[in-house]
Each structure stands twice: as C-alpha cells, then as structure tokens.
Amino acid sequence: MLSIWLSLMNLVTRDLLSLVGTRSNHFLIVQAGQFKDGLDMSAIREVKFLQELSHPNVIGLLDVFSSKSNLNLVLEFLDTDLEAVIKDRELVFQASDIKSWMLMTMQGLDFCHQNWVLHRDMKPNNLLIASDGTLKIADFGLAREYADPGTRMTCQVVTRWYRPPELLYGARAYSTGVDIWAVGCIFAELMLRTPYLAGENDFDQLSTIFRALGTPTDQDWPGHKRLADYVEFPIQHKQPLELLFSAAGDDAIDFLECCLKFDPRKRINSRQALRHQYFNSTPYPTNPQKLPKPKGALVPRQIAPQDGGAGGADGRNGNGLKKRKSVVDNSGKDVEMEDRTRKIAKRLDFS
C-alpha cells in the first residue's frame, strides 16, 4: 500500500519548483515507493491510471516527481472520506444524501469502466470527499485493465467485506461485476450506518453473504460449483431485503438487488446503473455542497492502518495517513517544503 503524507499546501502551477510561498489550493503529496527496493507495482498502477483518468469523480494526479530515492505523487487534497461520514453518529442522513453519494460513486466508476479499468478496491475509505462535497474515487493501487475478457487475474483483490463471491471462490477471470458488488455493499452500509457483510475471514465472508442473501443455486449462478476454490455450504434461504432496509423505497431495494446478484453476468453494469429508476425518482440527489460532513473535516487526520487478509482483520486495508511536520518562517513560507523542493533532482514523465 502507498504511504500517504497529507500536507495543507498550495498549488499555482504544476511546476513543483514554483510551489514555494504560494497559497491557493490544497493538495497532498504521496510517497509511492523507494527506488532502492524497486518500485512497487501498486505505485506504478497508481501513476498509470491516474494519468489516464480525468473525471470530476476521480481523484486528480497533479504531478509526479522524485526526491532522493523516493517516488512522490502530488494529488489534489480531499479532506475526508465516506467512511468518516458513515461513522460520524452526529451526522443525520437523508435518502437524498445517500442517493447523491451513490450517484457520484457510480459516475466515477462508470468512467473507469468505460475506459476499461477495474478499480478492484472500492470501499468507503477509498471514496474521498472534497470541501465542496464532491466525492472522488481514489487509491488505484489494485486497479487493472480488463480489455481482454479471457485474461486471468488474481482473486486476492477487493477488501474482504466488499469482495464478491466469485473472488472468494477463486475466480481468475472476472470483469466489472467485482466493482459493482462492492458498490452494492457500500450502498447497504450507507443505509445501515454499519458494514453490511462483515466476515472475519474468507470462509466466514462467504458464510456471512449466504446468511444474508441465501445459498446460491445452479439456477441463480450457473457454473459456480466449478470455480477453483468452491466449497459447499448448507442451504440457507434469502432474507427479504425489505426487512433489514425498512426505510428504503422500492427503487432503492431493486437497485441494491441488482448490484448484489450472485452471478456476476447478471449484475447491473455501471451504465445501466446510472439509468436505473433509483437515480431518476424522488427524492432527487442532494446538491453535493449541501451534503453533511464530519466536523473538522478540513483538518488532516491520522487513520491507523489495519491488517488481515486483503482487507485487514476487520475487512479493511486503509492507507495510514500522517500529517507532514512543517516549519514556517516569519514571512509565512514553509521553510521545510522550500528546502525539499530545491533538492528535487529530476522530474518523471510516465506518459
């Protein structure tokens, strides 16, 4: 994973050497890896896809540079994330708020999918939120191109609580359905204010899914018994989603069911999702600027890293965020940053 260093600094031009003393827009610096150890594949993917993807609901890569032995990314600064919003019990959500977050998520994801990119780690703390309320998809360290439908890929992707059953059963060939399942789990979490399918390990994750959605049959999911890591589970019957999501309307329930189909070929795709009645019925999505945000969201926060599987002991694998210590002189300039930028030896071009 990337080691993310947050810094409340300002950007006037993409030339890092001219950053010193400027104060306009916030950005953050990401230390992506060290050359002495060889660049991690996640760092290379992060740079590659962020340079290719430019969309209002995808985090922006402003620059890439090296300093000493480190590769650093300059990203737009987004001061909070959807996980922080969900966990803040002082915030009250309206159905229109949830619809707004889901719409921005699906718009960003649709742009990725239309450009043949699988994110493969959709979860609330990878959905960052700007000061104007705009939600942006971040962390492309596990992203992958998928133009060839027969390409074999690793199944050890997507944080466990948001991982679809085909990956838990060891599927090596998959497509956009893995991201759609994760979005369905995020949608459920927004409505419940707690993770919907929170397994303790991969086996328990499948068990948790089947307790909630029933054990899949051959009719529900043809061919799933031939997957590499298939394990048979006792037959359980699906619990009606209306019972758990009692405050959700019919359109919301239908949209959730479309995202959480066992057969990935039957799941709704991102383009179909944007045309779903859920997004075209009342209540209409809240204006992003009016969405609720945690108190003090503009202040950088430290998020402790978690372990366990691809998603941590609790199913999450968030990046550890650290505040960058800085020294400011009497003129208001960041002395440490001025010193660091003067030492930049070269600029990298991954285009």
Catalytic residues: 121
Helix (H) or strand (E) holding 211: helix 202-213
The residue type of 159 is T
Q: Are 205 and 254 in contact, with CB atoms under 8 Å apart?
A: no
Whether residue 214 contacts residue 236, with contact meaning beta carbons closer than 8 Å, is answered with yes
Residues 6+ apart with CB under 8 A from 240: none
Q: Which residues lie below 8 Å from residue 344, measured CB to CB, with a gap of 6+?
A: 16, 17, 65, 66, 67
Alpha-helical (H) ranges within 216-306 are 241-244, 250-259, 270-274
Measured in degrees and rounded to the nearest 5, phi and psi for residue 276 equal -65, 150
Give the separation between CA 254 and CA 259, rounded to whole angstroms.
Answer: 9
